[in-house]
Amino acid sequence: MTLLGGLVHLGLNAGLAAILQDPRRREHCAVGFSGVIFCLEATEGILAPVTIVTLGSVTITTKWLCLAECITVSLLYPSSSLTGHVSGIVVGVALAATPLVLATPLSTSL
């Protein structure tokens, strides 16, 4: 998850730099563990039974909870790495859709 998240993050930033013609996107790759946490949360959100979460007056299912948290973090902390978090979510969704999910600790709890 760590390696795939980092590679997807680099690829996403390189793609955005090419599309937006903004070379600063390639220079601002963050290093951290939050992408892995979003990856685990996205994998669990897909594999676990769907439940409904109420956050104040907002009701959301667990399948969309990691994306809502990613958007909330980006709005509250604009300097956080949005592409790093999104790459973690992408890796989590991809991992949940492959047979590799059987090798994760999440599969033993399901």
Total structural domains in the chain?
1
Return the pLDDT at 38.
92
Strand residues in 1-110 grouped as ranges (E):
52-55, 58-61
This prediction has a pTM of 0.80
Check whether 108 has a pLDDT greater than 80: no
> Which residue range is the domain that position 102 belongs to?
2-109
Q: What is the mean pLDDT of the chain?
A: 83
Q: Is the CA virtual torsion 76, 29, 38, 61 positive or negative?
A: positive
28 DSSP 8-state letter: -
Return the pLDDT at 86.
92
54 DSSP 8-state letter: E
Return the pLDDT at 32.
78
Percent of the chain exceeding pLDDT 90 equals: 20
Q: How far apart are CA 33 and CA 38, in angstroms?
A: 9
Return the pLDDT at 89.
93
> Does residue 71 sit in helix, strand or coil?
helix
Q: C-alpha angle with apex 82: 109 to 95, nearest 5 degrees?
A: 30
63-106 confidence digits (pLDDT tens)? 888 898 899 999 999 888 888 899 999 999 998 888 766 666 65
Residues 6+ away with beta carbon under 8 Å from 18: none
Nearest to 83 by CA among 75, 74, 96: 74
Return the pLDDT at 106.
53
